[in-house]
Structure 1
Amino acid sequence: MVSPTKRAAVAASTAGAFVAAGATARLLNTRKRRQRRERRGEAVEFGSVRGPVHTVTASDGVRINVEVDDGPSDAPTIVFVHGWVCTLDTWHYQRLALRGRYRMVLMDHRSHGGSGRATPGGSTFAQLADDLARVITELVPSGPIVLVGHSMGGMTIQQLAADRPELFGDRVVGVALVATSSGRLVRGNPMLQRLAPFIRLGGPALDWGRSFNSYSVIRRWAVGPDAAERHVDMTEEMILRAPTHVLLDFYPAFTELDLRQGLTTLGEARTVVVCGTKDLLTPIKHSERLAEAIPGADLVRVDGAGHMVMLEANVEVTRVITELVESVA
């Protein structure tokens, strides 16, 4: 029979080995990320494109970080809204391509990027939509607007259409919904279902799960099968910067997602729905349903691209946005 003292020693030894293995894995992952960053070969380093910073205070006091790139006053202002666990750097390529041609407003969602932390109760689509409305009121007080939203950003725009329909058709004249959904997202989605047990376990388990072999996980789920290494690396960089509480706080909003109420309103603006054919997080069937439900909407399928289509197929997505803006100018 094994004595309690020996069992305790074995347990302590096992725990120590687990911690040591985890520390070694993190060190190797960090080294690999640095090597991949050095191999990117980008003319403009990802995350280095910055503009004048503005702070918009949300209805519950959370500070919303916004950057504004100036442009002609006689063209629509483009407002970019990023996805879950990402930042405004999501739009790296579009920002570079469109700088000087249009005025651009890029916001970090609450709890993301440079914005302040929200409470779990404030991590809802209704609050995200209200944040967006406040950004528009303060930083785009007049003139036509084109809204561009990726994933959770696209959902935020749909919620805004439900909550503030008077904005659409008058102020908001164009909308691009990129790799997003109006509902029924978690059910039947293997990646989001796999996340659920870690969410239930909470912080430490989720911290470990996020950092362990994160590049391979992102390569499998967040991009298309032929995505360039640099685009996987950019995505990983954003996701690993997001605090774990962002996953914990926002996950319930996705399980209850139903944004159908605002879809008819989106038809008041010129709307384009964009999705990669290899998107595993918001599969293209969600975009097809959106395009069918929004009056007059067009659907653009990007062959081979995954969820991070605006990085993977950045030229194509920039072209779609440009044509949308020119069509409503």
Structure 2
Amino acid sequence: MRHESRRITTPDGVVLAVYVHTPVGAGPETPTLVLAHGWTLSHRTWTPVVEALADDPVRIVSWDQRGHGGSRKALVRKEARTISIDHLGRDLATVVDTVVPAESPLVLGGHSMGGMTVLSYAAQFPSVVKARVRGVALVSTASHAIPMGARPGETRLMRLLARGLPVIGGPVIRPRSQRAFLFGDVADPRHVKDTVWQVAHTPLTTIGAFYGAISRLDVRTAFAALEDVPVTVLVGSRDKLTPPALSHAIGEGLPHATLKEIPGAGHMLTYEATDTVVDAIRSLL
């Protein structure tokens, strides 16, 4: 498989870091799997899945969401005040239009905020979804009504972070708290370390700005565009960030979707339940 890193620019001037993995002998008609990562993370979240699919006849595209990973410098202060999940849906459209051949059928995968990105894309570009998308995997995510602000002062703190300087969290991010909050009953220390690294290298402005965007989330208009598209919804029974009830709400909006709750797993299913995620994607492909 050939690996390529690219920089692409969105219509509103944001530079995104994009990663393309192309199998040997791939042509324009080769299916493409496009993977969107979650809040405070990066494309690295999907690495275990990408590695597991390395020998499959599928082109794999991932990218760092604006303000995250290799794209992090793009989130300026003005943008931090106005950012929404709809921006991310449009970024997904730019990624598809720029790096995926027009003849290639699509399977879309989204983890956490990445799942919201996929749903926003479907809501904004329903005709494209109906014409090109052959399947959707929604992992540890939600369509609306995420319970934010449960801890005292949390919302005010996030607003202050969004207005501050774009410095990374670094030592403020504690491995023990991240493990407790993001993982379930069993967590590989290597996976916790990689997750902590991603969170610690996300600017505090990005963390605060997207907290607000996620708290305002409602992408249920996507359901109409996905009514004829195979959809798999995965969630860990111990997910504290996007609890199982939110995945079940997606299932209610998409009655044809396959919904699987993974016992003992937390929010980081691409690490905690890689085989389950890979099997779901292979079924969609």
TM-score over 0.5 for the pair? yes
Structure 1's 121 and 167: CA in aligned 2 closer, same or farther, altered over 3 A? farther
Q: Which amino acid aligns with 1:117?
A: A
Instruction: Give the share of equivalent positions with the same residue, in percent.
Output: 34
Structure 1's 175 and 285: CA in aligned 2 closer, same or farther, altered over 3 A? same
Structure 2 stretches lacking a partner, 5+ long = none
Q: Which amino acid aligns with 1:67?
A: Y
Q: SS where residue 33 of structure 2 aligns?
A: strand
The corresponding residue for 1:302 is 262
1:224-281 per-residue CA deviation (whole Å, 9 max, x = no partner) reads: 0222222211111110011111112212111211111111212231110011111000
TM-score, structure 1 normalization: 0.77
Q: SS where residue 168 of structure 1 aligns?
A: helix
Deviation at 1:201, TM superposition (A): 4.0
The corresponding residue for 1:16 is none
Structure 1's 54 and 209: CA in aligned 2 closer, same or farther, altered over 3 A? closer
The corresponding residue for 2:50 is 95
The corresponding residue for 1:117 is 74
TM-score, structure 2 normalization: 0.89
Structure 1 residues 148-297: aligned runs within 5 Å: 148-187=109-148, 190=150, 195-202=154-161, 211-212=171-172, 214-297=174-257
Q: Which amino acid aligns with 1:76?
A: P
Q: Which amino acid aligns with 2:145?
A: R
Matched residues in 2 for 1:190 and 1:207: separation? Answer: 25
Structure 1's 169 and 245: CA in aligned 2 closer, same or farther, altered over 3 A? same
How many residues were matched structurally? 275
Matched residues in 2 for 1:225 and 1:57: separation? Answer: 40
Deviation at 1:290, TM superposition (A): 0.4
Structure 1's 66 and 221: CA in aligned 2 closer, same or farther, altered over 3 A? same
1:38-69 per-residue CA deviation (whole Å, 9 max, x = no partner) reads: xxxxxxxxxxx993112221111010110100
Higher helix share: 1
Q: SS where residue 51 of structure 1 aligns?
A: strand
Structure 1's 295 and 56: CA in aligned 2 closer, same or farther, altered over 3 A? farther
Q: SS where residue 90 of structure 2 aligns?
A: helix
Matched-pair contact (CA < 8 Å) for 2:36–2:62: yes
Q: SS where residue 260 of structure 1 aligns?
A: coil
Tell me whether 210-219 or 83-92 shows the greater mean CA deviation: 210-219
Structure 1 residues 56-71: aligned runs within 5 Å: 56-71=8-23
Matched-pair contact (CA < 8 Å) for 2:239–2:265: yes
The corresponding residue for 2:63 is 107
Matched-pair contact (CA < 8 Å) for 2:169–2:199: no
Structure with the greater relative contact order (CA < 8 A, sep ≥ 6): 1 or 2?
A: 2
Structure 1 stretches lacking a partner, 5+ long = 1-48
Structure 1's 156 and 324: CA in aligned 2 closer, same or farther, altered over 3 A? same
Tell me whether 95-104 or 203-212 shows the greater mean CA deviation: 203-212
Q: SS where residue 170 of structure 1 aligns?
A: helix
Matched residues in 2 for 1:212 and 1:85: separation? Answer: 13
Matched residues in 2 for 1:63 and 1:201: separation? Answer: 25
Matched residues in 1 for 2:160 and 2:2: separation? Answer: 37
Q: SS where residue 109 of structure 1 aligns?
A: coil
Compare CA radii of gyration and give the structure with the larger one. 1
